[in-house]
Amino acid sequence: MIGMTREESTDLLKTYIESESLLNHCKMVAQAMEAYALHLEKEDTEIEEWWTAGLLHDLDWEKFPDEHPDKAVNKILPEKGYSETVIEAIRAHAPERTGKEPETEMERYLFACDELSGFMNAVSLMRPNKFNDMKVKSVTKKLKDSKFAANVPREDIQNGAKLIGKELQEHIAFLINVFRT
Ligand SMILES: [Fe+2]
Ligand SMILES: [Fe+2]
C-alpha cells in the first residue's frame, strides 16, 4: 500500500517546488511512469507507486540541491509514510549520489524515463506543435548535437533504454505518444 493519494503527493510536491518547469518535469516523469505501468499491465497499487515515484523523484531538488535525493529518501518521504518501494526507486534514480543502482523493474523504468523526459521536453520547446508532430528522429538528431541541452547526460539516456531492454528509438516513440496532447 502506498498510503498517499495523488492529491496529497501533488500537494507535497508543491510545498517543496516553486519552479513551474521543475513541476512540469515531475509531472511528465509521473505520466511516463504511469503509462509504462499500464503498458506492463501492473496492478492498480503498483500503477500508483510508479506514478508517485515519478512525481516525487526530484522533490528535494529545489530546496536541497546538494543533498538531492538524500534529503527526500532519508527524511521527507519516510516521515510522510511513503512505501519503501517508492523511496528505493527515487534513491536509484541518482546512483552517483546514493550508491544505489536501479535494480527492480520500477527502479529501472524511473531511471530510463527521467533524463529522457527532460531532454524530450527541451526538444518540444523548440517546436511550434511541441510533441504533436514530433518524430523519433527529431529527438535522436538533437541527442547527437552535443551543444543542445548540454547538461543532459547522453550516457544516462542510452543506459536507461538498455536497463529496460529497449532500443532507444522504441523508448522515444513510446514517450512521444505519452506526451502528445
Ligand atoms: Fe533527480
Ligand atoms: Fe528528474
Q: pLDDT tens for the chain, 181 residues: list them.
A: 567 999 999 999 999 999 999 999 999 999 999 999 999 999 999 999 999 999 999 999 999 999 999 999 999 999 999 999 999 999 999 999 999 999 999 999 999 999 999 999 999 999 999 999 999 999 999 999 999 999 999 999 999 999 999 999 999 999 999 999 7
Ligand 2 center–CA 126 separation, angstroms: 20
Ligand nearest to the CA of 110: 2
Ligand 1 center–CA 163 separation, angstroms: 17
Q: In Å, how far from its chain's centre is CA 43?
A: 20
The pLDDT score that the predictor gives to residue 1 is 53
DSSP-assigned letter for residue 152: S
**Amino acid in the structure at residue 12:** L
Are 114 and 93 a contacting pair, CB within 8 Å? yes
Distance CA 165, CA 181 (A): 27
- Does the reported pTM lie above 0.75? yes
Distance CA 86, CA 78 (A): 10
The pLDDT score that the predictor gives to residue 2 is 62
Q: How many CB atoms lie within 10 A of CB 139?
A: 23
Angle at 159 between CA 181 and CA 105, to 5 degrees: 75
CA torsion 68-73-77-79 (nearest 10°) is -120
Ligand 1 center–CA 58 separation, angstroms: 5
Ligand nearest to the CA of 30: 2
The pLDDT score that the predictor gives to residue 165 is 98
Ligand 2 center–CA 44 separation, angstroms: 24
Are 86 and 49 a contacting pair, CB within 8 Å? yes
User: Cell 527492480 sits at which residue?
Assistant: 104
Ligand 2 center–CA 148 separation, angstroms: 18
Residues with CB under 5 Å of ion ligand 2 are: 58, 114
C-alpha cell at 173: 516513440
Cis peptide before 102 (omega within 30 of 0): no
Ligand nearest to the CA of 114: 2
Ligand 1 center–CA 65 separation, angstroms: 9
Ligand 2 center–CA 58 separation, angstroms: 5
